[in-house]
Structure 1
Amino acid sequence: MKNCPNCNAEIEDNFELCWNCNYSLTEQKIIDIKDLNENKKEIDCLRCHVLMLYSGEYKFHEGPKIGVLGNIFEAFVNRESFDLYMCPKCGKVEFFAPLQNSEYKFE
């Protein structure tokens, strides 16, 4: 555990944002959560009821990597991309289909 230099709250070692005051250890300033989620959904964590942070679009694939030829088989696997959101307080992660992708239109 480490302590926030701004409010002295305890922070998990793998977090770079204080759950209490939104102080960023990497940028050494208080972050406005709404700025991080610009043009993205505003989603509250189901556990903590804190605004979740947009962490970016992540691409995943289905299928095995088979030995030396694994990179060749990468061309034949199914690739999916998801928007990833993380709770700065508890670390809960949620995935959402990106809305700009026409394949995932919801109404």
Structure 2
Amino acid sequence: MKNCPNCNSEMEDHFELCWNCNYSLSQGKVVEITESLPGTRELDCLRCGIPMIYSGNYRFHEGARMGILGNIFEIFLNRESFDLYLCPKCGKVEFFSPRTP
């Protein structure tokens, strides 16, 4: 464990940002963290360079339904949620972990 130089709170050894005051050890200052709503990322397409459009949050799961008991087995499947952005010009699609407000 180590202590934050700004507020003296205990931090895990592998943390670079203080959980209490947002002091960044790598930058040597308190970092301003802005909360953002889903779909508010400003992204440009890596191919075309034009702004990408937020298409929504999509939930995916691994596995398939198994007959009549398919809904029961759904609880054992891995589920992931992603924000999907797409380029209106070339059709490139990018997935990102969703930001939670």
Q: TM-score, normalised by structure 1?
A: 0.54
How far apart are the structure 2 equivalents of 1:95 and 1:56? 10
Q: How does 1:65-104 map to 2 (within 5 A)?
A: 65-100=65-100
Q: Equivalent residue of 2:71, what SS? A: helix
How far apart are the structure 2 equivalents of 1:95 and 1:54? 10
Name stretches of at least 5 consecutive residues in structure 1 with no aligned partner.
1-36, 102-107
User: Greater share of helix residues, 1 or 2?
Assistant: 1
Query: How big is the alpha-carbon RMSD for the aligned residues of Structure 1 and Structure 2?
Result: 2.2
How far apart are the structure 2 equivalents of 1:64 and 1:85? 26
Q: How does 1:18-33 map to 2 (within 5 A)?
A: none
Tell which structure's C-alpha radius of gyration is larger.
2
Equivalent residues, number: 65
How far apart are the structure 2 equivalents of 1:43 and 1:53? 8
* 1:1-27, Cα deviation, whole Å (9 max, x unpaired): xxxxxxxxxxxxxxxxxxxxxxxxxxx
Shift of 1:63: 2.0
